[in-house]
Amino acid sequence: MTIPQTLHVVIVAFEMTIKQAMTDAFIIFGVIVQPMMIAILALYMLGERGDEIAIFVVIGSGLSGLWTNVVFSSGNSITSERRTGTLEALVGIPTPLHVVVFGKNLAFVVQSLLSMVASYTLASLIFGYPLTVESPFQFIISIILSVLSFVCFGLMLAPLFVINPDVQRWQNGLEYPVFILAGFLFPIALLPIWTSPISYILSPYWAAQALHITSHAQPGFQQLGLSWLAMISLSVIYILISRFLFRRLSVKARMDATLNLQ
């Protein structure tokens, strides 16, 4: 496929997924309601520490919405096609399946940014916190890199959940441990030291680092550059793993013909 053709497929998949997701009550709950509940509880417990903690909570609760959508929506982006009976058709068309899944996952992650907007509005209107971003330009770059890294993470989960359904059974258990290990609402320095290497291989941790740094301080280039480089590097690794998994999925489809079986 040429680059224009690939972009066209991504855009079409993005548009269709956005339209479908806006009518899905589960996605709306995970994107808006759950992050707002987390923000309310965190602001209630930590609000006495001042305005700086408010923007920290807003970013953390917003990231929780992003991660929830990656685990459930992006992770199920292939299994949902199986349930609707369209997976065989997607595998059989000339367009590579991973291109379609990338467009779907991009839609889910971009939609999840609504959780950050909802948390921002909640903190500003209900709790009266004056929320400001200290480094807006670096913050925007961090948002873009975070979105791409979350999409790549979902691109790795989607074929894995199909190839090995046993992994998918742990789907619910993947949500809150990453909230903790990625330091969405508190630093990982509070955790046991042996958990740090796990945090370092998770792109959500570096996304949280970059967004927290740029939202409430003037970051140093070395500190922020490390987070950006880590997100880019991990995204490349996730893509390489996803390519291997998609090849396995393609072989499984042609040899076993069990795509429509769970």
Give 186-208 pLDDT, tens digit per residue.
788 888 899 999 999 999 999 99
| Residue 262 is assigned to a structural domain of this protein | no
Q: Are 211 and 143 in contact (CB under 8 A)?
A: yes
| Residue 261 is assigned to a structural domain of this protein | no
| Residue 163 is assigned to a structural domain of this protein | yes
For residue range 147-188, what is the model confidence (pLDDT) as tens digits? 899 989 988 888 888 777 777 677 777 888 888 898 887 788
| pLDDT for 46 | 65
| Residue 225 is assigned to a structural domain of this protein | yes
Percent of the chain with pLDDT over 70: 91
| Residue 18 is assigned to a structural domain of this protein | yes
| Residue 104 is assigned to a structural domain of this protein | yes
Please tell me the distance from the alpha carbon of residue 155 to that of residue 96, in angstroms, as a whole number: 13
Domain assignment of residue 86, given as a range: 3-256
Look at residue 13 and give its three-state secondary structure. helix
| Residue 182 is assigned to a structural domain of this protein | yes
| pLDDT for 256 | 65
| pLDDT for 49 | 62
Please tell me the distance from the alpha carbon of residue 2 to that of residue 95, in angstroms, as a whole number: 11
Tell me which of 40 and 203 has the higher pLDDT: 203
| Domains held by the chain: number | 1
